[in-house]
A and B are shown apart, each in its own frame.
Chain A
Amino acid sequence: MSTLDRPADQGLPPLSRWRAPRTWAPRALLPDALVPRALPLLVTVVITAVASPLVFVAVQAGQAGWAQAQRLLGRPLIATLLWHTLSLAAVVTVGAVALGFAAAYLVERTDLPARRFWTVMLAMPLAVPEFVHGYSWVSLFPQVQGYSGAVLVMTSSLYPLVFLPVAATLRRFDASAEEVARSLGRGRWTTLWRVTLPLTRPALAGGALLVSLYLLGEYGAFAMLRFTTFATAIFTEYQLGFDAASASLLTLVLCALALLLVTLDARAGRRGRLVRQGATARPGSPVPLGRAKVPALLAVTALASTALGVPLFALGYWLLRGSSTTLPPASILGAATTTLGYALTAAVVATAAAVPVALYSWRRRTRLAQAAERAAYLTRALPGIAVALSIVFFAVRYAQPLYQQPPLLVAGYVLLFFPLALTAVRASLAQVPPGVEEVARSLGTRPLGVLFRVTVPLIVPGLGAATAMVALTASTELTATLLLCPTGTQTLATQFWAYTTGLAYGAAAPYAALMVAMSVPPVILLTRRTLGPKRPSETP
């Protein structure tokens, strides 16, 4: 770069020098050569940090040694846990896929009355955290517990994770595939089975993966339903403080299960991609339900009232009943402020960390970019309890002064919600027209100038939305919060948990209600982003 770095005007004919003397500005303070190298470096640092929990868990588990590991893993407890976790995951996933697909089909492809209303109602159970679902059922119907209780509660709370992507696919895909099937002499049911269902396969696979990952990582709801899975066992082992090696071994098995699921999904989702999607697709006319209209309406009503009605009723009931026993509102306000403070700090850090990664993979598809994307995708699969435990181990071993301090909770949230922030930042970068950065450089602007004059102004609204979404989602996190919360700090989730475990359902209700209220905006945002602002058939 030595000779080429000189100002370019030297060899120019007099005319050109006269024409634009200062257009290409003098050298900036920061050497340009630094900038292209800074980004990959930053990406590497962020990805290493995000992927570190797995390493720490492995290191901790390694402390046990091979013989002890064999002994620990050979316990009958492990077999029970595996059976509980896997059979529940299988049953709930199948149930959620069936409910989610049926609901999405009714709402998107038939003439069900008030389809918009039902779309919102059927997606809303997502705004109720799983442990609040568990709380609602257990507090109203004490007989709901164990395996069957877990199936009921988890299926009704997790089916929207299938419903939303399938509805989005059904809304976007071109009607011609179904029409061609009909024109080839296939009936409505055959068409549904042989065309519509295969076309939604990637969405179904993605939704099923999310459901099963949630199930692997869930702690609060299962603890409440008195159903033992890997997550609850890990939590108990850790809290009883028997030995960290055992807990980390269990965590390692849990992580392995999660990664196995991701791999399975990558295989299943590959086939059946939509050829045409997006704006060019023409929506089909809704399938008339005819005499099935009333049963269909009854079905969606039953689903919505089970999944959304029960939690809302429980919250209302306990808010009214428990008002006499509730502590003064000041403590709720204090907990809410503390929660938001942690969540916002974590959201800002996570979004800031996501920007270089998203930017890098948006600009070019190098190996590092692909690796970064995959690593972020894999960390999404890590259960919250694994992330939290790995941070605890890290603090205990390498950063003792930080143990039980606020930065650890923030770090936990950042690691947990980094994938969410990355998705949101990537979505806002997708709005940036391709090529603007290059054009800006061809106009004589340095890479850093391009970043601050073009790229950042374009994604600022998206960054705001990403931060808000991460903050609100983190506010309702329970598992990692319980493990990482500094001693004496009260957040909404810890307070709720403290009251619930003491069976003070009335006192817990305001905290739960507040968390549900805080979850509504992110869920609306998610629904909007997944489905698009309105149905294509409604646009003129």
Chain B
Amino acid sequence: MSGLSITGLHAAHARTPVLRGVDLLVTDGALACVLGPSGCGKSTLLRVIAGFHSAVQGEVTLRGRLLDDGRARVPAERRRIGYVPQDGALFPHLTVAGNIGFGLPRGQRQERVQEMLDLVGLSGLGDRHPHQLSGGQQQRVALARALAPRPELLLLDEPFAALDAALRTELRTEVAATLRRAGATAILVTHDQDEALCFADTIAVMREGRIAQTGTPHALYHQPVDAGVACFLGEANLLAARIDAGRATTALGTLPLTAECPDSRPSTAKPSTEGQGTVLLRPRQLRLATEPGSDTVPVRVLRSHFRGHDHRVELATDPRPGVPEQLIAYTDSAPPRNGSPLFVTLHGTAHPVGPVVPPDPAPAPAPAPAPAAEDRAHAARASTR
């Protein structure tokens, strides 16, 4: 049975539209993530699901129960949806135990609170007050408090944003593990792609009030639908390519195309298989050598810097049509000095992003879809486990 289902959701702040037709499906037991730049409407989406903000039109259902259809809405307190805001928002006048037990009927409090304290690893701190806890502990209490009444869905609104980098990494791994252990269905909202990639089973990339693409972290990283999604998830080299017969021919070489990911593309927007397009190559797909070989392309080192685990190298190419002026590569070994010549080979598969325009002689019954129309067509689907 499906968990949360959102179709055609529109919402607005005063008269400014914020959500413009969001479609999202989160199955029971999945950890989903809504990823998007600030201002894209992801927090508003979460608040509509939680019941703090009303929809203009569209439908939000949880386990078949209609929560909001733009006319009638279930009040937040009857939705059985837990909510962890960015700063935790613990009740400052209650102890940790009082916080966790807030949503429980009196009779069950003691037992369940103990259980939740154990779950988040804070046993023995039940009598503390929120101000006596560290930031990470406060977020754990907020999580325990939200999980205590066994919500059907848990919403996390950038819950790690206020923590420092090391704690953030540690806590998000721990929270993901806790949620899986509790068998919870959860939606995390974040603008941090690292957080999204390591937390979620499914990521929905959100842009300007719509879901641009939904898929597994791997699929999103390697098979984004367009250049925007590609660049949002990590650095990207975008090359013009001629695409035919399952191969992409670029100015830097020829590569096989990525096999289609069935879920990431709607059938209506199936691109033409032949024509001119753009392909994505992640920096790791560029291999650098100091000696020329077969299929190598000469480049110069523009600048490079050491990042601890590897080097990031910016490469200048000879001005040629279809080749960006700069390429980015990550290498494990130190690159030569700036200005030195290098030779690039492409590895892996090329993924076409954006529309593929059929070659000129082809008739024109299929116009290139405008980006906006394409986005809407991507009925985003979160398929998980």
- Least Cβ distance of B234 to chain A in Å? 32
* Interface: B293 (CB within 8 A): no
How many angstroms from the CA of A4 to the CA of B68 in the assembled complex? 9
- Least Cβ distance of B340 to chain A in Å? 42
Contact of A454 (CB < 8 Å), options: B65, B72, B75, B91: B91
How many angstroms from the CA of A20 to the CA of B92 in the assembled complex? 26
* Interface: B119 (CB within 8 A): no
Chain A neighbourhood of B79, CB < 8 A = 8, 442
* Interface: A279 (CB within 8 A): no
Q: Are A441 and B77 in contact (CB under 8 A)?
A: yes
Contacts A4-B66, A12-B63, A22-B105 given: A438-B80 contact, CB under 8 Å?
no
Q: Are A442 and B146 in contact (CB under 8 A)?
A: yes
How many angstroms from the CA of A20 to the CA of B52 in the assembled complex? 23
Chain A neighbourhood of B142, CB < 8 A = 439
How many angstroms from the CA of A443 to the CA of B80 in the assembled complex? 7
Q: Are A438 and B83 in contact (CB under 8 A)?
A: yes
* Interface: A11 (CB within 8 A): yes
User: For A13, A440, A442, which residue has the most chain B Cβ atoms within 10 angstroms?
Assistant: A442
Q: Are A439 and B66 in contact (CB under 8 A)?
A: no
Q: Are B77 and A444 in contact (CB under 8 A)?
A: yes
- Least Cβ distance of B49 to chain A in Å? 10
How many angstroms from the CA of A440 to the CA of B50 in the assembled complex? 12
Contacts A434-B89, A438-B83, A458-B93 given: A443-B72 contact, CB under 8 Å?
no
Chain B neighbourhood of A11, CB < 8 A = 63-65
Contact of B77 (CB < 8 Å), options: A5, A19, A446: A446
How many angstroms from the CA of A225 to the CA of B99 in the assembled complex? 60
Contacts A11-B64, A13-B1 given: A442-B76 contact, CB under 8 Å?
yes
Contacts A13-B1, A443-B145 given: A435-B87 contact, CB under 8 Å?
yes
Q: Are A436 and B77 in contact (CB under 8 A)?
A: no
Contact of A440 (CB < 8 Å), options: B65, B102, B150: B102
* Interface: A1 (CB within 8 A): yes
Contacts A13-B1, A25-B105, A433-B92 given: A438-B150 contact, CB under 8 Å?
no
Contacts A22-B105, A443-B145 given: A438-B50 contact, CB under 8 Å?
yes
Q: Are A443 and B64 in contact (CB under 8 A)?
A: no
Chain A neighbourhood of B146, CB < 8 A = 439, 442-443
* Interface: B81 (CB within 8 A): yes
* Interface: A196 (CB within 8 A): no
Q: Is the interface of A mostly helix, strand, loop or mixed?
A: loop
Contact of A23 (CB < 8 Å), options: B63, B90, B93, B104: B104
- Least Cβ distance of B328 to chain A in Å? 36
How many angstroms from the CA of A443 to the CA of B102 in the assembled complex? 7
Chain B neighbourhood of A8, CB < 8 A = 65, 74, 78-80
Residues 1-23 of chain A: 1 if any B CB is under 8 Å from the residue's CB, otherwise 0? 11111011001110010011011
How many angstroms from the CA of A458 to the CA of B130 in the assembled complex? 13
Q: Are B77 and A433 in contact (CB under 8 A)?
A: no
* Interface: B287 (CB within 8 A): no
Chain A neighbourhood of B151, CB < 8 A = 442
Query: Chain A, interface size: which category?
Result: 35 or more
* Interface: B192 (CB within 8 A): no
Q: Are B78 and A3 in contact (CB under 8 A)?
A: no
Q: Are B87 and A433 in contact (CB under 8 A)?
A: yes
Q: Which residue of B lies closest to A27 (CB)?
A: B78
Chain B neighbourhood of A16, CB < 8 A = 63, 150, 152
- Least Cβ distance of B152 to chain A in Å? 7
Residues 313-333 of chain B: 1 if any A CB is under 8 Å from the residue's CB, otherwise 0? 000000000000000000000
How many angstroms from the CA of A443 to the CA of B72 in the assembled complex? 21
Number of CB contacts from chain A to chain B under 8 A: 114
How many angstroms from the CA of A8 to the CA of B77 in the assembled complex? 11
How many angstroms from the CA of A432 to the CA of B52 in the assembled complex? 18
Chain B neighbourhood of A443, CB < 8 A = 77, 82, 102-103, 145-146, 148-149
Chain A neighbourhood of B75, CB < 8 A = 32, 441, 446
Chain B neighbourhood of A13, CB < 8 A = 1, 63
Contacts A8-B74, A443-B103, A443-B149 given: A24-B80 contact, CB under 8 Å?
yes
- Least Cβ distance of B52 to chain A in Å? 5
How many angstroms from the CA of A25 to the CA of B74 in the assembled complex? 15
Q: Are B92 and A439 in contact (CB under 8 A)?
A: no
Contact of A444 (CB < 8 Å), options: B65, B85, B103, B108: B103
* Interface: A295 (CB within 8 A): no
- Least Cβ distance of B283 to chain A in Å? 37
How many angstroms from the CA of A454 to the CA of B130 in the assembled complex? 14
* Interface: B51 (CB within 8 A): yes
Q: Which residue of B lies closest to A445 (CB)?
A: B77
Q: Are A458 and B92 in contact (CB under 8 A)?
A: yes
Chain B neighbourhood of A185, CB < 8 A = none
Chain A neighbourhood of B155, CB < 8 A = 442
How many angstroms from the CA of A32 to the CA of B92 in the assembled complex? 26
Q: Which residue of A lies closest to B52 (CB)?
A: A438
Contact of A433 (CB < 8 Å), options: B80, B89, B149: B89
Q: Which residue of A lies closest to B102 (CB)?
A: A443
Contacts A24-B78, A32-B75, A457-B93 given: A439-B63 contact, CB under 8 Å?
no
How many angstroms from the CA of A463 to the CA of B67 in the assembled complex? 37
Q: Which A residues form the contact surface with B (CB < 8 A)?
A: 1-5, 7-8, 11-13, 16, 19-20, 22-25, 32, 432-436, 438-447, 453-454, 457-458
Q: Which B residues form the contact surface with A (CB < 8 A)?
A: 1, 50-52, 63-67, 72-83, 85, 87, 89-93, 102-105, 108, 142, 145-146, 148-152, 155
16 further A-B contacts with Cβ under 8 Å, apart from A433-B92, A436-B89, are A1-B72, A4-B67, A4-B72, A8-B79, A12-B65, A23-B103, A23-B104, A24-B77, A436-B90, A438-B85, A439-B89, A439-B145, A441-B77, A443-B145, A443-B148, A443-B149
